Amino acid sequence: MTAAKPITLALPKGRMFSSLIALLGQAGLVVKEYERSYRPKANDPRVELKILKPQNIPALVELGRHDLGFTGHDWIAESGCRVELLDDLGLEPVDIVAAATEGWVPPQGGGAPLVVASEYENLSRRFLEQKGWPYRFVRSYGATEVFPPEDADLIVDNSATGQTLRENGLVVVERLLSSSTRFIGSDSSLCRPDVRQFADDLVLLMGGVRAAESRVMLELNVANGNLDEVIRLLPAMKSPTVSQLADGSHVLKAAVPLSEVPRLVPRLKQLGASDILEYPIRKVIP
């Protein structure tokens, strides 16, 4: 009997890795043995994992060398690769920005071409050509922020908070796009039913984990007289779960927004609720 073809999944090396591994673990896909290996193990025997630079993942997924992968939207835009976007995880958000030293003045026509340094050659060229600025492009290999003013007039780089730019005396000239971690698939691989089902299941489970982060479960005892008012107060996903106790009082459970808890708990106490429990939710599956 022929063994089933594995589902190959590319994981991004670098800043996206830790938060992604945590999310996947909460979704049920546990990644193991990755400290010293570019080929970690998954708890799902169907899946083969490989850690790659996020810059390389869009092209390798487009080619079908990996069925699925995670990378930044910036590298999908930079590469121009045709892949199917399966999910925006919202992890590790950054802006891709053009930046220069404070007081820099854009060219007004004539003069020497701008020297522009970046790891993002295609994004940089598109931006500069839209502006109509003459330029010479210099590829950087990390630490792009150190180029101005001696080695470049302008840089195009990713920025999460802007702190690194400020520390190097740079200001944002323009934001080119916003990026975060994306889940992508190969068009050809997703024609396989097993790959499509695995991808859809993982999207569902990762979405459930993310939805749970903003909610908690409240459980409370309520006397009969205030039951209807408490039910109206609780912002449950649909309606609270209500169970009757032996003494005629009721227990309510509701998944409520975490931000609402400071307002809700004192009001619930005023309505006679007792034994209020708050506990985390691991997943919310609509």
Q: Is the pLDDT of residue 188 over 80?
A: yes
pLDDT recorded at residue 2: 58
The mean pLDDT value for 158-164 works out to: 94
Residues 6 or more apart in contact with residue 191 via CB below 8 angstroms: none
Rg (CA), the chain: 25
Report the pLDDT value the prediction gives residue 95, as an integer from 0 to 100.
Answer: 96
Q: Is 129 exposed, middle or buried (0-12, 13-18, 19+ CB in 10 A)?
A: exposed
Count CB-CB contacts under 10 A for residue 92: 20
pLDDT digits (tens, 9 = 90+) for 89-143: 999 999 999 999 998 988 887 678 999 999 999 999 999 999 999 999 999 998 9
Asked if 135 contacts 114 with a C-beta cutoff of 8 angstroms, the reply is yes
| Dihedral Cα 183, 187, 188, 194, nearest 10 deg | 50
pLDDT at 69: 98
Tell me the C-alpha to C-alpha distance, in Å, between residue 173 and each of 105, 146, 170, 190.
Answer: 10, 16, 9, 40
- Average pLDDT of the residues in 172-201: 97
Helix (H, G, I), strand (E, B) or coil at 47: strand
Once rounded to an integer, what is the mean pLDDT over residues 170-195? 97
Nearest to 282 by CA among 27, 18, 91: 27
pLDDT digits (tens, 9 = 90+) for 60-98: 999 999 999 999 999 999 999 999 999 999 999 999 999
User: What residue type is 55 in one-letter code?
Assistant: Q
Q: What SS3 state is found at 153?
A: coil
Nearest CA to 9 out of 75, 77, 57 is that of 57
**Residue 71's closest CA among 60, 277, 176, 39?**
60
> How many Cβ atoms from other residues are within 10 Å of residue 86's Cβ?
20
| 240-257 average pLDDT score | 87
Max CA distance (Å), the chain: 87
pLDDT at 225: 75
pLDDT band at 239 (very low <50, low <70, confident <90, very high): confident
Domains and CATH numbers, the chain: 7-91+180-211 (3.40.190.10), 94-179 (3.40.190.10), 214-280 (3.30.70.120)
Tell which wins on pLDDT, 18 or 35. 18
CB atoms within 10 A of CB 89: 22
Confidence of residue 165 (pLDDT cuts 50, 70, 90): very high
Question: Looking at the DSSP assignment, which residues form a beta bridge with residue 101?
Answer: 170
pTM over 0.75: yes
